[in-house]
Amino acid sequence: MHFTSEQRLDDGVLEREFTLGEIPGTLWTPESAVPVPLILMAHNNGLPKRDARLVARARHTAAHGYAVATIDAAGCGDRPRSAADEQARAELRRAMQAGEPVDEIFESFIGPLVENAVPDWRTTLDALLTLPEIGGPVGYSGWTAVGVRLAAVEPRIAAAGLFAGGFVPRAQREEARQVTVPLLFLLQWDDEGNPRQRALDLFDAFGSKEKTLHANLGGHIGTPWFELEDGCRFYDRHLK
Angle, CA of 108, 113 and 115, to the nearest 5°: 105
Quote the mean pLDDT of the chain: 91
Rounded to an integer, what is the distance from CA 39 to the centroid of its chain?
9
Q: Tens digits of per-residue pLDDT, 47-59?
A: 667 788 889 999 9
In contact, 194 and 172? CB cutoff 8 Å: no
Share of the chain above pLDDT 90, in %: 65
Q: In a 3-state reduction of DSSP, which class is residue 159?
A: strand
What is the structure's pLDDT at 222? 87
CA 201 to chain centroid: 20
Three-class SS of residue 62? helix
| pLDDT score, position 45 | 63
Task: Give per-residue pLDDT as tens, 177-235.
Answer: 999 999 999 999 998 878 899 999 999 999 999 999 999 999 888 899 999 999 999 99
Q: Are 43 and 165 in contact (CB under 8 A)?
A: no
C-alpha–C-alpha distance, residues 18 and 32, integer Å: 20
Indicate whether 158 pLDDT > 90.
yes
Contact 142, 43 (CB under 8 A): yes
Secondary structure, 3-state, 136-147: EEEEEEEEHHHH
User: What is the pLDDT, as a whole number, of residue 74?
Assistant: 84
What are the CB-based long-range contacts (under 8 Å, 24+) for 205-210?
205/173, 205/176, 205/177, 206/176, 206/177, 206/179, 207/176, 207/177, 207/178, 207/179, 207/180, 208/179, 208/180, 208/181, 208/182, 208/183, 209/180, 210/182, 210/183
Q: How many helices (H) and strands (E) does the chain have?
A: 7, 9
Alpha helix stretches (DSSP H) within the chain: 52-63, 83-98, 103-128, 144-153, 170-175, 196-205, 226-239
The domains found in the chain, sorted by start residue, are: 2-79+111-239 (3.40.50.1820)
Question: Picking from 84-98, 149-163, 170-184, which range would have the lowest pLDDT averaged per residue?
Answer: 84-98
> How far apart are the C-alpha atoms of 142 and 61, rounded to whole Å?
13
Name the residue type at position 114. Answer: V
Read off the pLDDT of residues 12-35 as tens digits, 9 standing for 90 and up: 899 999 999 999 999 999 988 789
pLDDT at 16: 97
What angle do the packed helices 103-128 and 83-98 form, to 10 degrees?
Answer: 130
Q: How confident is the model at residue 112 (pLDDT cuts 50, 70, 90)?
A: confident
CA–CA distances in Å: residue 57 to residues 67, 68, 98: 12, 9, 34
For position 107, what pLDDT does the model report?
Answer: 86
Residue 76 pLDDT grade (very low, low, confident, very high; cuts 50, 70, 90): confident
**Distance, CA of 187 to CA of 156 (rounded, Å):** 25
